[in-house]
């Protein structure tokens, strides 16, 4: 069985170190089609599984405002990798978990690597890994990539995660926003083309945010006026 894995994370979290450790540094480097953004791919074998790893551009978020973010987002939405490894800087959880939340909203099959775990510990942070995993609803693995620590456990979690679909957790944005989100979702569900391609809740949230790329998709929908009426 081949498992397709995408690596994502904020800039400077040790993404390349993990990529190199997993693939042994034998990466195929090219460009994303039509974009001058480097695309790195490599292969890793673990317990008889062939794991294809794609390194996505480092991003803080998944909006449509920069080409890096758009590439990362399109890959996850359109190519639907079996597992997305979200590399999180354990010493800077608050900002890093913002990307994690967006991945969960995209209904990606996420495994969180809590990298730089040693740095977090040396700063005196105590991270309850199990509790974090429970709250996020996905596996969380502490790693120190520069020392190769936790990588075996990470691969184990990836293989496990590829086998079963996880439950989807949602974060509530408060009553007012949630009412709009569910109204938009109902309208989206009428358009089977649209709702089969993207997670409906994610679409609804992006429509509320006024995401340009998502609004372009809505423009093409036969239910366009019905959807857009809600956000007027």
Return d(Cα 118, Cα 60) in angstroms, integer: 22
Match 């803080």 to its residue by tokens. 60
Q: Which is nearer to another protein, 29 or 123 (CB)?
A: 123
* Helix H or strand E segment including 109: none
Does the footprint of another protein cover residue 63 (CB under 8 A)?
Answer: yes
Please, which residue, 95 or 163, has the CB nearer to another protein? 95
157-216 positions binding another protein, by CB under 8 A: 209-210
Residue 115 interacting with another protein (CB under 8 A): no
Q: Which helix (H) or strand (E) holds 42?
A: strand 38-46
DSSP letter string, 103-164: HHHTT--EEEEEE-HHHHHHTT----HHHHHHHHTS-EEE-BGGGTBTHHHHHHHHHHHHHS
Selected range binding another protein among 35-43, 45-53, 58-66, 213-221, rule: CB under 8 A: 58-66
| Residue 61 interacting with another protein (CB under 8 A) | yes
Q: Which stretch binds another protein (CB under 8 A): 57-65, 108-116, 178-186, 213-221?
A: 57-65
Site for another protein in 83-112 (CB under 8 A): 91-92, 94-95, 98
Would you say 5 or 13 has its CB closer to another protein?
13
122 contacts another protein (rule: CB under 8 A): no
Q: What sign does the CA torsion over 150, 109, 45, 87 have?
A: negative
Determine the Cα–Cα distance for residues 51 and 4; give it in Å rounded to an integer.
Answer: 6
Q: Does the protein bind another protein through residue 131 (CB under 8 A)?
A: no
How many angstroms from the chain centroid is the CA of residue 100? 6
In angstroms, rounded to a whole number, what is the distance separating the alpha carbons of residues 184 and 95? Answer: 28
Which of residues 20 and 63 has its CB atom nearest to another protein in the complex?
A: 63
Which residue, 82 or 89, has its beta carbon nearer to another protein? 89
> What are the residues binding another protein (CB under 8 A)?
60-61, 63, 65, 91-92, 94-95, 98, 209-210
């Amino acid at each position: 069985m081949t498992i397709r894995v995408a690596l994502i994370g904020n800039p400077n979290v040790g993404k390349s170190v993990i990529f190199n450790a997993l693939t042994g540094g034998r990466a195929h480097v090219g460009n994303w089609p039509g974009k001058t953004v480097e695309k790195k791919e490599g292969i890793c074998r673990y317990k008889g599984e062939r794991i294809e790893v794609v390194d996505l551009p480092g991003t803080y978020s998944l909006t449509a405002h920069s080409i890096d973010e758009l590439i990362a987002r399109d890959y996850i939405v359109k190519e639907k990798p079996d597992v997305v490894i979200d590399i999180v800087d354990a010493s800077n959880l608050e900002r890093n978990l913002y990307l994690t939340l967006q991945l969960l909203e995209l209904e990606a099959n996420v495994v969180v690597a809590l990298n730089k775990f040693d740095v977090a510990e040396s700063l005196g942070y105590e991270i309850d890994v199990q509790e974090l995993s429970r709250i996020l609803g996905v596996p969380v693995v502490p790693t120190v990539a520069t020392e190769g620590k936790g990588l075996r456990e990470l691969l184990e979690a990836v293989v496990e995660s590829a086998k079963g679909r996880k439950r989807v957790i949602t974060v509530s944005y408060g009553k007012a926003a949630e009412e709009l989100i569910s109204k938009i979702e109902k309208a989206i569900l009428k358009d089977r083309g649209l709702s089969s391609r993207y997670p409906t809740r994610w679409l609804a949230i992006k429509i509320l945010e006024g995401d340009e790329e998502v609004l372009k998709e809505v423009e093409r929908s036969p239910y366009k006026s019905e959807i857009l009426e809600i956000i007027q």
